Amino acid sequence: MPDDTFTLRVESDITALSATSWNACAALRSHDTSTNSSKPLKSMGVGDSGSLVNPFIAHEFLSALEESGCVSPETGWLPQHLVLERADGTVLGVCPAYLKSHSRGEYVFDQGWADAYERAGGHYYPKLQVSVPFTPATGPRLLVREGQQPDTTRRALAGGLVALARMRHASSVHATFLSDEDAQALENEGFLPRTDQQFHWHNRGYADFEGFLGDLASRKRKAIRRERREALAEGISIHWLTGSDLTEEAWDAFYGFYMETGSRKWGRPYLNRRFYSLIGERMAERILLVMAKRAGRWIAGAINFIGPDALYGRHWGAIEHHPFLHFEVCYHQAIDFAIARRLGTVEAGAQGEHKLARGYLPVTTRSAHYIADPDFRAAVATYLERERAYVAETGEELSELGPFRRNLDAEADEP
Give residue 266's pLDDT band: very low, low, confident or very high (50, 70, 90). low
Span 292-332, pLDDT tens digits = 999 999 999 999 999 999 999 999 999 999 999 999 999 99
pLDDT in tens, 372-384: 999 999 999 999 9
Give me the pLDDT at residue 351, please: 78
Q: With contact defined as beta carbons under 8 Å apart, do 276 and 254 qualify?
A: yes
Least confidently predicted of 5-19, 43-57, 69-83, 217-231: 43-57
Give the mean model confidence (pLDDT) for residues 119-140: 97
Minimum mean pLDDT among 23-32, 83-92, 210-219, 246-255: which range? 23-32
pLDDT at 245 over 80: yes
User: What is residue 44's predicted lDDT score, i.e. its pLDDT?
Assistant: 33
Residue 176 has pLDDT above 50, yes or no: yes
What pLDDT sits at residue 106? 96
pLDDT range class, residue 262, cuts 50, 70, 90: confident
Signed CA dihedral, 357, 360, 363, 368: sign only: negative
Q: What is the mean pLDDT of residues 51-80?
A: 95
pLDDT exceeding 90 applies to what percent of the chain? Answer: 84
Output the pLDDT for position 33: 42
Residue 108 confidence (pLDDT) above 90: yes
Predicted confidence (pLDDT) at residue 407 exceeds the cutoff of 60: yes
Predicted local confidence at residue 29, as pLDDT: 64
- Rounded Cα distance, 301 and 107, in Å: 22
Please give the average per-residue pLDDT across 61-67, as a whole number: 98
Return the closest-CA partner of residue 348 out of 367, 361, 366. Answer: 361
pLDDT band at 412 (very low <50, low <70, confident <90, very high): low
Q: What residues pair up with 128 in beta bridges, in sequence order? A: 99, 173
How does the average pLDDT of the chain come out, rounded? 91
The predicted pLDDT at position 261 comes to 83
**pLDDT for the residue 38:** 33
Mean pLDDT over 329-358 rounds to 94
Question: In this model, does residue 40 exceed pLDDT 80?
Answer: no
Please report which confidence band the pLDDT of residue 9 belongs to, taking 50, 70 and 90 as the band edges.
Answer: very high
Q: Are 282 and 60 in contact (CB under 8 A)?
A: yes
Answer yes or no: is pLDDT of 43 > 90: no
What is the C-alpha separation between 109 and 300, in angstroms, rounded?
A: 29
Does 41 score more than 70 pLDDT? Answer: no
> Which one has a higher pLDDT value, 267 or 68?
68
**How does residue 150 score in pLDDT terms, banded at 50, 70 and 90?**
very high
Q: What is the pLDDT of residue 410?
A: 53
C-alpha Rg value of the chain to the nearest Å: 22
Instruction: Give the angle subtended at the CA of 144 by the CAs of 79 and 146, to the nearest 5°.
Output: 140
* Beta-carbon contacts of residue 198 (< 8 Å; ≥ 6 apart): 136, 138, 347, 348, 349, 350, 351, 362, 363, 365
Contacts 24+ apart (CB under 8 A), 2-6: 2/84, 2/92, 2/93, 2/148, 2/152, 2/153, 2/156, 5/86, 5/87, 6/84, 6/85, 6/86, 6/87, 6/92, 6/156
Q: What is the pLDDT of residue 1?
A: 46
Looking at residue 99, its pLDDT comes to: 98
CA distance 52 to 285: 12
Of 30-39, 66-75, 112-121, 228-237, where does mean pLDDT reach its minimum? 30-39
